[in-house]
Amino acid sequence: MDALVRRLSQLDTEAEGALRVVMFYDTLMRRRVDLPALTRASAGMAECVAGVRLHGTGQVIRFSPDGREASAPPPPAFSTTPITLDEEEIGTVWLERTGPSGSLDEVLLDRLAIAVATVVERYGPARTTMADPALVELVISADSDDAARARALRLLGFTADVPVRVIAVRSRLPLDHIGGLICPNRPVKAAPVAEVGVILATTVDPARFPAGVRAGIGATASPDRSWRQGRTALRFSTALQPIVHYDHLGALALLAQVPRDAARDNADVAAIARMADNPDDLDTLDAYCATGSLRRAAETLHLHHSSVARRLEQIGKTLGFELTDPTGLIRARLALTAWRLLDD
């Protein structure tokens, strides 16, 4: 290679410079540098600010030729080159010169773009939890083909051989905070989609969900199916059971398919609706349906069991059937669940 460089230098100094740029990036790739190191080295080589932006995550990296992160705003115009991977533009690289472009800028940007694509393909994007909502929507959409979904997953940092579970979330807490808690030290991405938080994770620890979060966890099926399951499970979440696995719903999941008008016209559901103005009765019925025991319901409500018994007797009269009867308990559970699903 050195002999070739010497021969080319005798013919064309620009060709020699271009070859040195190629060798420079070949060396960086052999060293398996990450994106910040790659950008920093490029800035030093170009003797101006170099930048990288990934569309999928919105990540922007800028370094000055002195090796420090660039803080000054970029000039209004500078040389740019797209980063392509599998014939798709995934980002942009650029050089921020205040004067005219250098003779080797085009070669340098081409090699930098190729190197960034290699790093992204090898390691995935930098480990950040929040992701581009459009990219996440591409993963969970039933309209996406397998190739587009696989490409989007790779750009988000997931490998093809690891199943991805989708979690639908409602919470005032930041999605990145929730994602980091339930899937520590493993790939996890989050984004808001259609007024619902979406978390893509390779593993989920339900015990690590913080208080105040309601979530529906889909199975490790295809991401689009897991997303539908997660949204369905989220509809079944309550204050007493805020985290719901779709797999644990069993036949209850069929209630989500009941037409709203049919559910609303059901006598038991209509009776629950008439109780909606009395939160104490609803809380009592919810606790009893969730525990199946008068005493455990009393413990949940922090009341004496005799007080809960009196409430349940009155609620039974409102509903028109005996709650302590096994059949009555089943009817109450189904009616309460169906009534809740009307609001989702």
Q: 253 in a domain, yes or no?
A: no
Do 106 and 139 belong to one domain? no
pLDDT of residue 48: 92
φ, ψ dihedrals at 199, nearest 5°: -120, 125
How far is C-alpha 69 from the geometric centre of its chain's CA atoms?
Answer: 28
Helix and strand numbers, DSSP H then E, in the chain: 15, 9
Q: 312 in a domain, yes or no?
A: yes
Count of the separate structural domains present in the chain: 3
Do 168 and 220 belong to one domain? yes
pLDDT of residue 8: 43
Domain final residue, candidates 248, 269, 290: 248
CATH of the domain at 85: 3.30.450
Q: 205 in a domain, yes or no?
A: yes
Q: 100 in a domain, yes or no?
A: yes
β-pairing verdict for 214-217 and 243-245: parallel
Do 118 and 8 belong to one domain? yes
Domain final residue, candidates 75, 95, 123: 123
Do 143 and 89 belong to one domain? no
| Cα Rg, the chain, nearest whole Å | 29
Domain with 322, as residue range(s), is 258-341
pLDDT of residue 1: 44
Q: 208 in a domain, yes or no?
A: yes
Do 22 and 50 belong to one domain? yes
Q: Tokens 């529906």 belong to which residue?
A: 216
CA distances 96 to 35, 74, 101, 102, Å, are 18, 7, 9, 11
Do 299 and 325 belong to one domain? yes
Q: 311 in a domain, yes or no?
A: yes
β-pairing verdict for 88-96 and 79-85: antiparallel
**Per-residue model confidence as pLDDT tens for the chain (344 residues):** 455 445 444 445 667 778 889 999 998 888 888 889 999 999 999 999 999 988 766 678 999 999 999 988 877 767 889 998 767 788 899 999 887 777 889 999 999 999 998 888 776 554 567 888 989 999 999 999 988 898 888 888 887 778 899 999 999 999 988 998 898 777 889 999 988 999 999 889 999 999 999 999 998 779 999 999 999 999 999 989 999 999 999 999 999 999 999 999 999 999 999 988 898 999 999 999 989 898 998 999 898 988 888 999 999 998 999 998 889 999 999 999 999 999 76
Strands (E), 171-305: 188-193, 196-201, 214-217, 243-245
Do 18 and 111 belong to one domain? yes
Domain final residue, candidates 123, 158, 182: 123
Task: Tell me which amino acid residue 206 is.
Answer: P
Provide the edge-to-edge strand list for the sheet that holds 49-54: 60-63, 49-54, 88-96, 79-85
Q: Rounded to an integer, what distance in angstroms lies between the CA atom of residue 225 and that of residue 150?
A: 15
Q: 154 in a domain, yes or no?
A: yes
pLDDT of residue 34: 86
Do 108 and 151 belong to one domain? no
End-to-end CA gap in the chain: 67
CATH of the domain at 278: 1.10.10.2840
